[in-house]
Amino acid sequence: MLDELLKKIADRTARVGIVGLGYVGIPLAMRITEIGLPVLGFDILPERVRQLHSGESPIRHIPADAIRAMRARGFEATCDYSRAAECDALLICVPTPLDKHREPDLQFVTSTMDSLGPYLRAGQLLALESTTWPGTTAEVLAPRLVAAGLTPGQDAFLAYSPEREDPGNPDFDTSRIPKVVGADDEASQRAGVALYSTFIDTVVPVSSSRAAEMVKLLENIYRAVNIGLVNELKIVAQRMGLDIFEVIDAAATKPFGFKAFYPGPGIGGHCIPVDPFYLTWKAREYGIHTRFIELAGEVNASMPEYVVGKTLQALNARGLVMSRARLLVLGIAYKRDVDDVRESPSVLVMERLRDWGAHIDYADGQVPVFPVMREHSFDLASVELTPQAVASYDAVLILTDHSDVDYAMLRDHARLIIDARGRFSNQPAPHIIPA
């Protein structure tokens, strides 16, 4: 079985199935088709499949030309999971959110496995890419393979390889980001390394699926903790009358022992606000309370409220009442130059301002219409940033600093700016309030 799969991978005839065509799955499919392997994409959303077949991009920072080129190389998409039997490898790239109790929610992983189960066959490689707690591959996926009549390492192969996409970052594409691969038997490890080595420049094998799962959590916990640190230092620095961005940039000139992280209105996206809690949850099984990680989470979660407090203070200082204020939120995506609003702190700030009675609008060229979200609701569309529009608001809150904004115009025409991203950290002015 293994030799046959390795031969198909080597001669570029192995068909790869990508399950979940989103921010991770689409770039992965694009890269795999580039090197000549046939790709079949699976998604539960018929509209997503229609868009891809029509050459449309469902993700703003991925151009439609790239989707059309992928289609020209033979990429197909489907909602029909029975076609999983056509694939020699299946890479699962589905969401792993938290539930309402802030505990891991693996419903997308388990439902995907349940959908694939009847169509899994001997000789296939199954690899999970979704971020999760150490033990998921062995404890959740392996039993489902066995239930399908397959034994990992013998007649099928099972691995974990965490996704490492950085949407909107032009410096790293899928091929150039090293890929960690872990499996719990030698045959599965060989199959996983062989497949990923065909389209990733550097593959990093680790000793087990649990080790690979822990790698992903460490990467994102490292970021969450350091962001929490600079968010707390920002509050201290502002109280001392210091510019935290100046301090960080000066510290970053040290050529060793320091990596710059920057504060903001909180943390967002599908990884950083979520992944640390996968480990804190699993650690409790071992009787360990991860105080350091949870403290960073508390600091980061408090930042939207801090921004609201700074806004309230700035309005009061000008004789304005929050309940009658007209406020413009600049940027609702969770990071610069992407259209993803998942876990965005901007949305939390908007909700809190609305609770105070303020009139809220937003401007974000990446997100023309406020999207349908499970826990948040605004019936809004993005406002055009003209001098007249900017001047009509009592305050503009910079919560996401997209590159396509005319910040000089904003500085010249806004009555009041609440700057949570340090965009004007080197341009002090009475109407610009760091937050």
Residues annotated as part of the active site: 271
Rounded CA-CA distance 233/365 in Å is: 31
Rounded CA-CA distance 428/435 in Å is: 13
Rounded CA-CA distance 303/123 in Å is: 49
Longest alpha-carbon distance in the chain: 76
Q: Is 97 exposed, middle or buried (0-12, 13-18, 19+ CB in 10 A)?
A: middle
CB count within 10 Å of CB 318 equals 12
Answer whether 21's CB lies under 8 Å from 42's CB.
yes
Rounded CA-CA distance 220/225 in Å is: 9
Q: Is 57 exposed, middle or buried (0-12, 13-18, 19+ CB in 10 A)?
A: middle
Cα radius of gyration (the chain): 23
| 106, HSE (Cβ side, Cα atoms, 13 Å) | 20
Rounded CA-CA distance 32/29 in Å is: 5
Rounded CA-CA distance 222/272 in Å is: 9
Write out the E strands in 342-430. 359-363, 395-398, 417-419
Geometric angle at alpha carbon 207, from 206 and 209, rounded to 5° = 85
Rounded CA-CA distance 344/265 in Å is: 9
Q: 13 vs 87, 189, 294, 315, CA distance in Å? A: 10, 20, 47, 64
Describe the strand order of the beta sheet including 125-128 as a list of residue ranges. 76-78, 39-42, 16-19, 89-92, 125-128, 157-160, 179-183, 203-206
